[in-house]
Structure 1
């Protein structure tokens, strides 16, 4: 084998060894984060006519639908089967968190995988409830509010607000976890979600 061929083979093996996230998953991550933040900000701070809030909510639901599909047909680290762990594995991982040794999991670690499922479920439920809300202002009525009646629409509106606050808490925990891994465990979680690869 020539030197050039050897170098190419070594580079290919190195790239495969450090590959972490595929492009569709990375695009999903940043679009999802942007849409959630935009929908939350518009819901909290206006304008009073929440047309854009609704559209970002629809985007969130569409992105979740994509993620559910990609969780079965995507690359190895994107599939649910690669990061759904039982309670024993999650507890074992949590007990090792105080160690300063980087984890460098190929994909989501057991705790991260649990967080992904919780985040998708919570935000999905919140966005779905938005379809049924009716704040009685005759403007910002969910497209499916008439299906549940006024009492159901009011209940949906109340839970939509509760889950919005819970989503804010989860977003804060996500950012805190990024800083924890970066500072305490010396592990960069952001760059792989941009480039698709982690440093060897």
Structure 2
């Protein structure tokens, strides 16, 4: 299935978009990331477990990207060069196509965020191996990835607010209720 963009200027409406799994995944991942970055002590077992849970959530989301509901499937939103070009051209022209699911830039950000979480899981796990115990470069890489994740997450949140206003949608509410509304 391919994404079905709808011009921004079309009227109001609402549509179920994010299924329960996607919403639970999203908010559980947000919780793990925020706990690990701001609350839990680096290297302590709760930090490690939150990281493993986050990586497991991402792996489950990848599976769901192939077997889940329509807007959860990668085929619905995968950011191909053509989709990205069309979306960027529309943004520059002030009339980007509306997508009920992820727009191509949102999809690209989602993939980046998931790749960063998985990279953090791998580098965190590696730090516990005898072969890499105490390796400063690995600790620095893990910290760099964590900071990169937080920066990307902040951009993601700001973009959701910006695009919500631009597209006249309630994106944050949709990630809670599962229904994307246009006003």
Of 166-175 and 185-194, the range deviating more from structure 2: 185-194
Of 83-92 and 117-126, the range deviating more from structure 2: 83-92
Residue 122 of structure 1 pairs with residue 116 of structure 2 = yes
State the Cα distance separating 1:123 from its structure 2 match: 1.6
Equivalent residue pairs, number = 169
Q: What residue is the counterpart of 1:8 in the other structure?
A: none
Of 102-111 and 34-43, the range deviating more from structure 2: 102-111
Q: What residue is the counterpart of 1:199 in the other structure?
A: 181
Structural RMSD (CA): 2.2
> Following superposition of structure 1 onto structure 2, how do residues 33-44 of structure 1 map, counting pairs within 5 Å?
33-42=30-39
Of 38, 46, 50, which residue of structure 2 is paired with 1:52? 46
> Following superposition of structure 1 onto structure 2, how do residues 167-186 of structure 1 map, counting pairs within 5 Å?
167-186=149-168
Q: What residue is the counterpart of 1:27 in the other structure?
A: 24
How far apart, CA to CA, are the structure 2 residues paired with 1:102 and 1:95?
7
How far apart, CA to CA, are the structure 2 residues paired with 1:83 and 1:49?
36
Q: What residue is the counterpart of 1:3 in the other structure?
A: none
Deviation per CA, 1:1-27: give whole Å up to 9, x if none. Answer: xxxxxxxxxxxxxxxx71111111111
Quickly say closer, same or farther: Cα 1:182–1:106, change in 2 above 3 A.
Answer: closer
TM-score (norm 1): 0.76
State the Cα distance separating 1:66 from its structure 2 match: 0.8
Deviation per CA, 1:101-141: give whole Å up to 9, x if none. Answer: 685412111111111111111121012110112xxxxxxxx
Is the 1:100–1:186 Cα contact (8 Å) retained in structure 2?
no
Secondary structure of 1:18's counterpart equals: strand
Secondary structure of 1:198's counterpart equals: strand
Structure 1: stretches of 5+ with no match in the other structure: 1-16, 134-141
Secondary structure of 1:128's counterpart equals: helix
Of 88, 98, 111, which residue of structure 2 is paired with 1:94? 88
Q: What residue is the counterpart of 1:188 in the other structure?
A: 170
State the Cα distance separating 1:88 from its structure 2 match: 2.6
| Structure holding more strand per residue | 2
TM-score (norm 2): 0.82
Deviation per CA, 1:147-197: give whole Å up to 9, x if none. Answer: x2447x433212101111111110110111022123343322111111111
Q: Whose radius of gyration is greater, 1 or 2?
A: 1
Structure 2: stretches of 5+ with no match in the other structure: 1-13
Quickly say closer, same or farther: Cα 1:183–1:165, change in 2 above 3 A.
Answer: same
